[in-house]
Amino acid sequence: MAACAIQPAAYEQLTRVQDEQSDIVGTKRLLEKKIMNLPTCERSSETTYQFTGFIQDYLNGVTEQWLLVAPRANPGILEMFRDRDHRPWGNLTMSASEYAGKYLTSAVQVLRVTGDPRLKAYLKTSCPA
pLDDT digits (tens, 9 = 90+) for 85-104: 666 666 666 666 778 888 89
Q: Work out the number of other CB atoms within 10 angstroms of the CB of residue 13.
A: 12
Predicted local confidence at residue 110, as pLDDT: 95
Predicted local confidence at residue 65, as pLDDT: 95
Please give the model's pTM, rounded to 2 decimal places.
Answer: 0.58
Q: Work out the number of other CB atoms within 10 angstroms of the CB of residue 114.
A: 19
Task: Tell me the chain's radius of gyration from C-alpha atoms.
Answer: 28
pLDDT of 1 above 60: no
What ranges do the domains of the chain cover? Answer: 53-126
The residue type of 120 is K
Please tell me the least confidently modeled range out of 4-8, 21-25, 72-76, 106-110.
4-8
Cα–Cα distance, 103 to 110 (Å, whole number): 11
CA distances from 98 to 21, 73, 105, 117, 128 (A): 42, 17, 10, 26, 19
Residue 62: pLDDT band with limits 50, 70, 90 = very high
What angle (nearest 5°) sits at the alpha carbon of residue 14, between those of residues 27 and 19? Answer: 20
